[in-house]
Amino acid sequence: MRTNTLNRPFEEKGTLAGARRLWAVSLMALCLMFGVAGMARADQMPVLTLTFKQGGTFEPVRPTVPAGKFKLVLVNESKEPVEFESLPLRKEKVLGPGVSSSVVITISRPGEYPFFDDFHQNVKGVLVVTEKK
């Protein structure tokens, strides 16, 4: 006599299959738990906005942020493409006219980190990283 398994979708034959299901459900629960916790931390990190202006300038030219993880929002208000680039930070990002984007950066050491617009190399700035608060 055959048993209808549609009425019992969570019953597995054998202990190995049951263990796999338990492992999969536990893994999914952990992923959800850490995912939600990660989102809460992302909302709490400092946000620094760097705006590229028409004529090839930045605002601010010397942005300041505490050491640690922060979100850098790049806004291109000019009518031409720009490229944020920092060799010591190993970051670069190209933005078309009117485009905004962001990058998350972690810096553990206070100091000054130069950056520039690779399309307008005479335009330079310095990211000032202070002691962690």
| pLDDT tens column, 56-87 | 888 998 999 999 999 999 999 999 999 999 99
pLDDT of residue 120: 86
Verdict on whether the full-model pTM lies above 0.85: no
Range of the domain at 113: 47-130
Three-state secondary structure readout of the chain: CCCCHHHCCCCCCCHHHHHHHHHHHHHHHHHHHHHHHHHHHHHHCCEEEEEEECCCEEECCCCEEECEEEEEEEEECCCCCEEEEECCCCEEEEECCCCEEEEEEEECCCEEEEEEECCEEEEEEEEEEECCC
- Looking at the structure, tell me whether residues 70 and 102 fall in a common domain: yes
> pLDDT tens for residues 87-117?
999 999 999 999 999 999 999 999 999 999 9
Residue 2 maps to a domain: no
Count of domains for the chain: 2
Q: How confident is residue 5, by pLDDT bands cut at 50, 70 and 90?
A: low
Residues 104, 116, single domain; the answer is yes
| pLDDT bracket for residue 54 (50, 70, 90) | confident
